[in-house]
Structure 1
Amino acid sequence: MTAMAIDSVVVRQRVEDLDAAVPFYEKLTGTTAARFAFAGVTLASVGPFLLFAGPDEAVQRVAGVAATLSVSDLNAAVEEAEAGGAVIVMPIQPTPNGHRAVLRHPHGGVYEYVGP
């Protein structure tokens, strides 16, 4: 049996002013931010960072997730994590950038899994 592979990890960071924060992270990573909105939150993906800002109520839905884990087979990753004791907080669903699921690992961390 082949173990699930995590292709990359994206660090999530809440910021008060997205426009003010983005230039720092663009310079730090040498990449240009990709901006988008999701569930009432404005976001910017900059290298390995996902910056987000918005009203407290909307941001709380995003802020409770420690990191985003990119996987090549989302269904298999969710099944394997669940078999290992993870609890599905949000089942797989489509997003503007692919599909996502949110899981609570057996030791308490909450992670977003994303994939095709």
Structure 2
Amino acid sequence: MLAMAIDSVVVRQRVEDLDAAVPFYEKLTGATASRFAFAGVTLASVGPFLLFAGPDEAAQRVAGVAATLAVADLDLAVEEAEAGGAEVVVPVQPTPNGHRAVLRHPHGGVFEYVGP
């Protein structure tokens, strides 16, 4: 049994026009968007949503991940997920907002893990 805890889940949503989509999600969540660019796409984090837009090739890489899982200890989460049968697709690396890793769970789902 894994000892790590998932602190929150962020839903990923590809949008055609990030500027047009952000106001809807800000109103829906009551949160202000935090915008940034990463891996060839532009993104906006709004409450539990991660909106992204960009060229097809770059956007497909982001869309291939089902959700983002925030954890308090990224290294421990990766270690324990691997011990449970997960495969590391992208090892721990720095991002504009901390660190991330991408893992394929033993049942096929691909998830981004983020943490400090």
Assess same fold via TM > 0.5: yes
Aligned to 2:6: 6
Amino acid at match of 2:41: V
Q: Give the superposed CA RMSD.
A: 1.1
The percentage of aligned residue pairs carrying the same residue is 89
Aligned to 1:77: 77
* Cα distance in 2, alignment partners of residues 2 and 12 from structure 1: 25
Question: Alpha-carbon deviations, 1:17-76, whole Å to 9, x = none?
Answer: 101110110000001100000011000000000000000011111110000000000000
* Cα distance in 1, alignment partners of residues 30 and 96 from structure 2: 24
Amino acid at match of 1:21: A
Aligned to 1:39: 39
Aligned to 2:105: 105
Instruction: Name the TM-score, length of structure 2 as normaliser.
Output: 0.97
Aligned to 1:65: 65
* Cα distance in 1, alignment partners of residues 104 and 74 from structure 2: 15
Aligned pair count reads: 116
* Cα distance in 2, alignment partners of residues 69 and 102 from structure 1: 10
Aligned to 1:86: 86
Deviation at 1:91, TM superposition (A): 0.4
- The 8 Å contact of residues 2 and 81 in structure 2, kept in 1 or not, is answered as no
Tell me which stretches of 4 or more aligned residues in structure 1 moved more than 4 Å: none
* Cα distance in 1, alignment partners of residues 43 and 10 from structure 2: 13
Amino acid at match of 1:105: H
Deviation at 1:2, TM superposition (A): 7.1
The unaligned stretches of length 5 or more in structure 2 are none
Give 3-state SS (helix, strand or coil) of 2:3's partner.
Answer: coil
